[in-house]
């Protein structure tokens, strides 16, 4: 976040262009390297929707107040040992952040679903009174932001508040079960079950709060969070992190020196925490936030196989922005980047949730339409043309249009290969270009023959 992800250009990039890109153009829309989603920046709580402002404010206030009301029966009063324990947990959290930076190559990153910090909050639940959560989380999150986490400040503060509130829920479970002193290694099966319940409660509260943020906020700015919460691996990884924190708490209470034995496991956990975000980054185009072609093709193969087994119709679309080179030449490559970002957003907005879109390459996009007839595919293609036609790109006063080639496979025809559909959509795209651009043309796989793009060009 904060770094331009496009091409580097020579010194004379803007010397002969009519509308050089302003600082506003460069700043208005960007790509967060962590979530890989293009979006209009909402980088302060003041600019967020009213519902988001109320939700985040309520979370922060509750996180600052409630820990002082959940202290009854939980641990003895503050003493020197608690100060040392709090300091050690905070230090461990900071080391956690530093290890993550080393594994990520010391780059500044945006959002990613796991940073492993909840492990230390879970350990604090078992070892300290709830008020200690406030300085522990505050110092850890401040350090993580200083060391490179780049998300809007209000989101980062709210995430810390969610961690405190989830920890309080876990505290409440331990207290209700009669283990206000903390579960220890010498406890019976009841202690184990209660600890599992407290971890589950932590995860449930944390997830519920993030669900609130994801669906109260605007879809465009919360798409990454919604996608993360829809991924089962998020919950599996977070449960592993919390369980690791519970083990730290158990050993910290009864045999603190044996925590050293968990260090190798913690290294493996950190790698697991980073695996999914790095995979997501590899699968998505940094400029538009769409899938890259190869990940798209793998997913499409699975979808096509499913539709072939169930005799469902499908279609492949190839969409190419018209006169895109002229945009780059006249307004600059930064303006061209803006057009690509806005076009990706416009095309995505015209699709159904279950359709798959990717950046095919350059200014071209590939799309799979699931379970559509020829007529339905053309309606969607027309909608996509209209969406691009109506979009606005900062720094580009001209109208942008798109031409689309549609290749359809009917439900009653023999199985078709994906490569044949893509090839036919590509040649059909040339028909749309020759017919005047800003339109869609359709061909039927196995019925219509591909057009030679060199004929009549």
Q: Taking all residues of the chain, what is their mean pLDDT, rounded to a whole number?
A: 78
Q: Is the full-model pTM beyond 0.95?
A: no
Give pLDDT, residue 7.
27
Provide the pLDDT for residue 55. Answer: 92
What HEC string does 78-114 produce? CCHHHHHHHHHHHHHHHHHHHHHHHHCCCCCECCCCC
How much is the average pLDDT of 188-197?
A: 85
Per-residue pLDDT tens over the stretch 357-372: 999 888 999 999 999 9
Q: Please indicate whether residue 70 or residue 162 has the higher confidence score (pLDDT).
A: 162
Percent of the chain scoring above 70 in pLDDT: 76
Band of residue 35 on the pLDDT scale cut at 50, 70, 90: very low
138-147, 167-176, 447-456: which range is least confident on average?
447-456
Domain ranges of the chain: 34-283, 291-444
> What integer pLDDT is reported at residue 22 of this predicted model?
38
Angle separating helix axes 80-103 and 133-146, nearest 10 degrees:
30
- Whether residue 6 is predicted with pLDDT greater than 50 in this model: the reply is no
pLDDT tens per residue, range 250-289: 888 777 777 777 777 766 666 666 666 666 667 788 788 8
Gap between the Cα atoms of 259 and 250, Å rounded: 9
pLDDT digits (tens, 9 = 90+) for 113-131: 446 788 889 988 888 888 9
Beta strands in 218-299 (DSSP E): 291-292
CATH 3.10.290.10 holds for 291-444: no
Mean pLDDT to the nearest integer, 378-392: 91
Poorest-pLDDT segment among 115-124, 205-214, 297-306: 115-124
Long-range contact pairs involving 64-72 (C-beta distance under 8 Å, separation at least 24):
64/134, 64/161, 66/130, 66/165, 66/168, 67/130, 67/131, 67/133, 67/134, 67/164, 67/168, 68/130, 68/131, 70/130, 70/168, 70/171, 70/172, 70/175, 71/129, 71/130, 71/131, 72/175, 72/180
- Predicted pLDDT of residue 41: 47
* 451 or 162: which leads in pLDDT: 162
The predicted pLDDT at position 54 comes to 92
Residue 37: is its pLDDT beyond 80? no
Decide: helix, strand or coil at residue 314: strand
> 13-22, 65-74, 87-96, 217-226: which has the minimum mean pLDDT?
13-22
For the ranges 71-80, 126-135, 172-181, 198-207, which has the lowest average pLDDT? 71-80
Calculate what percentage of the chain has a pLDDT beyond 90.
25
């Amino acid at each position: 976040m904060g770094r331009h992800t496009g091409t580097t250009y020579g010194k004379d990039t803007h010397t002969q262009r009519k509308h050089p890109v302003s600082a506003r153009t460069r700043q208005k829309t960007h790509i967060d390297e962590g979530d890989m989603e293009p979006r209009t920046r909402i980088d302060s709580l003041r600019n967020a929707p009213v519902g988001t402002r109320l939700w985040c404010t309520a979370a922060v206030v509750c996180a600052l107040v409630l820990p002082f009301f959940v202290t009854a029966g939980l641990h003895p009063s503050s003493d020197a040992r608690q100060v040392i324990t709090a300091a050690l947990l905070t230090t461990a959290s900071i080391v956690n952040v530093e290890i993550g930076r080393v594994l990520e190559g010391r780059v500044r990153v945006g959002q990613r679903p796991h940073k492993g910090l909840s492990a230390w909050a879970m350990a604090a639940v078992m070892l300290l009174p709830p008020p200690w959560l406030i300085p522990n989380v505050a110092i850890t999150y401040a350090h993580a932001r200083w060391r490179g986490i780049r998300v809007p400040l209000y989101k980062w503060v709210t995430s810390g508040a969610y961690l405190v509130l989830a920890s309080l829920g876990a505290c409440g479970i331990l207290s209700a079960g009669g283990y206000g002193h903390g579960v220890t290694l010498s406890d019976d099966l009841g202690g184990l079950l209660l600890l599992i319940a407290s971890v589950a409660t932590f995860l449930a509260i944390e997830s519920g709060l993030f669900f609130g943020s994801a669906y109260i906020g605007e879809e465009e700015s919360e798409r990454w969070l919604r996608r993360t919460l829809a991924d089962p691996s998020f919950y599996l990884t977070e449960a592993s992190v919390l369980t690791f924190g519970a083990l730290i708490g158990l050993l910290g209470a009864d045999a603190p020196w044996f925590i050293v034995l968990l260090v190798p496991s913690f290294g493996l956990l950190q790698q697991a925490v980073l695996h999914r975000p790095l995979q997501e980054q590899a699968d998505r185009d940094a400029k538009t936030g769409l899938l890259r072609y190869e990940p798209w093709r793998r997913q499409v193969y699975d979808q096509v196989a499913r539709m072939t087994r169930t005799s469902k119709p499908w279609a492949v679309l190839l969409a190419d922005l018209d006169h895109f080179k002229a945009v780059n030449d006249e307004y600059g490559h930064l303006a061209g980047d803006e057009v690509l970002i806005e076009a990706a957003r416009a095309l995505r907005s015209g699709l159904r949730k279950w359709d798959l879109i990717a950046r095919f390459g350059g200014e071209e996009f590939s799309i799979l339409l699931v379970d559509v007839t020829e007529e339905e595919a053309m309606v969607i293609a027309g909608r996509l043309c209209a969406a691009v036609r109506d979009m606005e790109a900062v720094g580009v006063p001209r109208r942008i249009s798109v031409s689309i080639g549609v290749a359809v496979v009917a439900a009653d025809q023999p199985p078709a290969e994906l490569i044949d559909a893509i090839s036919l959509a590509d040649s059909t795209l040339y028909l749309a270009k020759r017919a005047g651009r800003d339109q869609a043309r359709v061909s039927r796989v196995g019925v219509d023959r591909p057009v030679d793009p060199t004929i009549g060009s």
